[in-house]
Amino acid sequence: MIILGIETSCDDTALALLEVQGETYRILSQEASSQTALHKKWGGVVPNLAQREHQRNLVPVLKKVLEEADLLNKKKSEKGTPDLHILLEREQELQKKLSHFLSQYEKPPIDLISVTSHPGLEPALWVGINFAKALSATWNIPLLGVDHLEGHLLVSLLEEEKSNNSFRLLHAPEMFPALALIVSGGHTALLLMEGLGVYRMIGETRDDAAGECFDKVARLLSLGYPGGPAIAKKAAEKQSGEYSIVLPRPMIHTKDYDFSFSGLKTAVLYDFQKRSSQVKKSASYVRAMAKEVEQAICDVLISKTLKAVQEYGVHTVLMGGGVVANEHLRTELKNLLHKDFPAVLFRAPNIPLCTDNGVMIAIAAFQNWEQGKRTTTIQASSHTTISEI
């Protein structure tokens, strides 16, 4: 089975082709077009700009993944341009590009098209959804909408095999129940996983996600965008300890598993405002603040995770999302987990699969297709949910 995965939930236009044979998943190709440079000047993602760029990038990225997988074949003769007016009524630029593409190239041997349907930035999501609908209708290939969070969760279960770009999905019964910590620019959540496709949200952010907090603090400190990698890099630098900064750990002692990072962001702002211009611009102050922000976020995430491990008696802890590429977070959680719960298995995705990608969408789609599901939803009350496509 060959699956096309399409991801446009935020600012990356990411597509992948995944081949599934028995228990083996082989990545035939994957491409992503980043919008980081575009959004950098704003210090965060601007939804309408992300929507526009997805319209521009989807067809070129599709062409690349098909070409890389050797599945791009020109038509011997043009059979007319498909009418996509209704499906892509609001995406005029995309409509023009896709119509031209479909009139030039043969239908590829794809068995299933999958697309992120929720959660995410709604303008960005709908571009990908309508694009996937147009491909599905034109090529007469089944379409499945996928929950973005499930994609992040499942890539942490991938185990690389000896052959190039091949993986197997770990899902032995003894691994469950499992606890998944999802941390990204738009999401911070704890999910209890009883098995593949069986999830329960036990906690999520009440306001800013951890990644969003990183972005806003980095902008304040003039460290650039995206904020997570910028703050991690600055925090890792050696420092003299000239400045002692102590920030709050929001909700770290509450009895629930929810998160809140808006107060942390505000605490950084208050500390920054009371400093002199000379201090604000000093490398030692910026390093000290970056280190304390990173540690505060990690402390909250890890404390909540370990508390849930204890309460629910899980056998595995999974991590997923762009922020889990942070080496300090990965290492500290792994070390504390092994210290306090040595029998619990720890799984985190390879760094390239932490950020939004088409592979995770294709894998989630296959799992749901095999289980007979035609739409997937992990309920996240504070985020956009488009449950039917």
pLDDT digits (tens, 9 = 90+) for 66-112: 999 999 999 887 666 677 877 787 888 888 899 989 989 999 999 99
Q: What is the DSSP annotation of 10-28?
A: SSEEEEEEEEEETTEEEEE
Q: How many other β-carbons are positioned within 10 Å of the β-carbon of residue 135? A: 26
What tens digit of pLDDT does each residue of 160-188 get?
Answer: 887 778 999 999 999 999 999 999 888 89
Place of tokens 């992120």: 116
Q: Is the pLDDT of residue 379 over 70?
A: no
Q: Average pLDDT, stretch 129-149?
A: 93
Give the per-residue pLDDT at 44: 76
Q: Which residues contact 142 (CB under 8 A, 6 or more apart)?
A: 111, 112, 113, 136, 369
- Cβ contacts of residue 208 below 8 Å, gap of 6+? 216, 260, 261, 262, 265
Asked if 2-156+352-370 and 173-348 have one fold, the answer is yes
Query: Tens digit of pLDDT for each residue in 252-268?
Result: 999 999 999 999 999 99
Predicted pLDDT of residue 186: 85
Name the CATH topology of 173-348: Nucleotidyltransferase; domain 5 (3.30.420)
Q: What is the pLDDT of residue 384?
A: 34
CB-hemisphere CA count at 13 Å for 102? 20
Rounded CA gap, 354 and 135, in Å?
Answer: 27
What residue ranges do the domains of the chain occupy?
2-156+352-370, 173-348
2-156+352-370 CATH fold: Nucleotidyltransferase; domain 5 (3.30.420)
Report the greatest alpha carbon distance in the chain.
71
Cis amide linkage into residue 119, ω under 30° from 0: yes
CA 294/CA 100 separation, integer angstroms:
47
Tokens of 337: 């987990």
Phi, then psi, of 32 in degrees rounded to 5? -145, 140
Q: What's the CA gap between 265 and 172, in Å, rounded?
A: 40
Q: How confident is the model at residue 47 (pLDDT cuts 50, 70, 90)?
A: confident
183-220: string of b/e by CB count within 10 Å (b at 16+)?
Answer: bbbbbbbbbbbeebbebebbbbbebbbbbbbbbbbbbb
